[in-house]
Copies of this chain bind each other. A is one copy, B any other.
Amino acid sequence: MQKKRWAVGVDLGGTKVEVSHVDSTGRVRRRLRLPTGLDQDIAAIKVEIITAVKEVVGSAGSRPAGVGVGVAGQVDPDQGVVRFAPNLPGWRNVPLQEDLKKKLGLPVVVTNDVRAATRGEWLHGSGKGCQDLVCLFVGTGIGGGIVSGGRILSGCSNTAGELGHITVDLNGPFCSCGNRGCLEALAGGLAIARQAREAISAAPAAGAFLLKRANGQPENITAKTVAEAAHFHDPLALQLVDRVTEALIAGSASLIHAFNPCRLVLGGGVIRGLPELIVRIDQGVRNRTLKAASKPLEVLPARLKNAGVVGAAALAMHLEAV
């Protein structure tokens, strides 16, 4: 019997580490979520990843084609060196690919986590079969990935797809990147929570419902609180969601004009919490884009639960013949 090709997918995110057995169709067959806190030192995190990969490989009964790792940070694509990872303390110029390769005796490839998630959605999710695709992941922050003419764009220094930092309001609030009115500064999860707190502070009566759901503590408010309150038809929450929607429509219009994708795939926690945004953005962009650009466009929700591990594994799937 011919052995089935498979790979290990690792997601080294800002809040968790996952190690999975992913088959060649993109299905996750086994998933380990590591108990590690990401505030641990780098060596300890590496040891935990290695142990988990070995466990996944051991229980599979066959050798994987390779190990793909998606990291929430800047990665040098040639050597798989993690240059900088804002949410992983101390991770600067860590040669993760080389280290894991030596310790595991397996081919390893390290990439950016959003780039990996884009690959996952492209090959096995809502982008399947499509050669021109923009993925926009709206979570705490906003990231993205672009497939154009059947290739994932990487750019000059491997940072193409920083779609959270496209300007949608040149007079808007300052963003951590130095720009003003970035999409992330208006529609990312942290921005939604900030805008809710500002609105409550400006008009406490209007904010009563939201505040109650946060147990009276403004600092407890998250994008999820706002989404849930909107689903209870709270007027302030609805207004906040309208503003987020407008920003996402304006940003999506830019992406459609710049890249002319066949599909715009929207994922991330904010979209999962407000699934009605898909239809609203779809309708909104059709009124705000050139017909020639939007005519072939489909706006779709991301389909995979674990696009990051699936995409990282997909990248590793052809590193070695089985």
Task: List chain A positions with a Cβ less than 8 A from chain B.
Answer: 74, 83-84, 131-132, 146, 148-149, 151, 153-171, 177-181, 246-247, 250-251, 253-255, 257-262, 287-290, 292-293, 295-297
Which single member of B155, B160, B179, B293 contacts A159 (CB below 8 Å)? B293
Expressed in whole angstroms, the minimum distance between the Cβ of A259 and any Cβ of chain B is 6
Expressed in whole angstroms, the minimum distance between the Cβ of A208 and any Cβ of chain B is 28
List, in ascending order, chain B residues with CB within 8 A of A131's CB. 156
Task: Give me 17 A-to-B residue pairs in the complex whose CB atoms sit less than 8 angstroms apart, sorted by A's number.
Answer: A149-B151, A156-B297, A157-B295, A158-B260, A159-B260, A159-B293, A162-B290, A162-B293, A163-B257, A166-B253, A166-B258, A167-B167, A168-B168, A178-B287, A178-B290, A254-B254, A254-B258
Check if A153 sits within 8 Å of B149, measured CB to CB.
yes
Which single member of B171, B251, B259 contacts A167 (CB below 8 Å)? B251
A155's closest neighbor in chain B, by CB?
A: B260
State in angstroms the CA–CA spacing of A157 and B131 once bound together.
Answer: 11
List, in ascending order, chain B residues with CB within 8 A of A83's CB. 292
Check if A261 sits within 8 Å of B296, measured CB to CB.
no
Q: Is the interface of A mostly helix, strand, loop or mixed?
A: loop
Question: Which of A250, A257, A292 is packed against the most chain B CB atoms within 10 Å?
Answer: A257
List, in ascending order, chain B residues with CB within 8 A of A289's CB. 165, 177-179
List, in ascending order, chain B residues with CB within 8 A of A169's CB. 168-171, 181
Expressed in whole angstroms, the minimum distance between the Cβ of A184 and any Cβ of chain B is 10
State in angstroms the CA–CA spacing of A145 and B156 once bound together.
Answer: 16
List, in ascending order, chain B residues with CB within 8 A of A262's CB. 156
List, in ascending order, chain B residues with CB within 8 A of A258's CB. 146, 160-163, 166, 254-255, 258-259
List, in ascending order, chain B residues with CB within 8 A of A250's CB. 167, 170, 179-181
Check if A157 sits within 8 Å of B84, measured CB to CB.
no
Check if A179 sits within 8 Å of B260, measured CB to CB.
no
Q: How many copies does the complex hold?
A: 2
State in angstroms the CA–CA spacing of A254 and B293 once bound together.
Answer: 19
Check if B290 sits within 8 Å of A159, measured CB to CB.
yes
A153-B259, A162-B258, A178-B290 are known contacts; what are 19 more A-B pairs with Cβ within 8 Å?
A83-B292, A146-B258, A148-B155, A148-B160, A155-B259, A156-B262, A157-B293, A158-B260, A159-B292, A160-B258, A160-B260, A161-B258, A162-B290, A163-B257, A167-B251, A168-B168, A168-B169, A170-B247, A179-B253
**Nearest 8 pairs of A and B residues by beta carbon:** A155-B260, A156-B262, A166-B254, A170-B250, A162-B257, A179-B288, A165-B257, A160-B260
List, in ascending order, chain B residues with CB within 8 A of A74's CB. 292
Expressed in whole angstroms, the minimum distance between the Cβ of A289 and any Cβ of chain B is 6
Expressed in whole angstroms, the minimum distance between the Cβ of A252 and any Cβ of chain B is 9
A286's closest neighbor in chain B, by CB?
A: B178
State in angstroms the CA–CA spacing of A131 and B154 once bound together.
Answer: 11
Check if B155 sits within 8 Å of A261, measured CB to CB.
yes
Expressed in whole angstroms, the minimum distance between the Cβ of A83 and any Cβ of chain B is 8
List, in ascending order, chain B residues with CB within 8 A of A181's CB. 169, 250
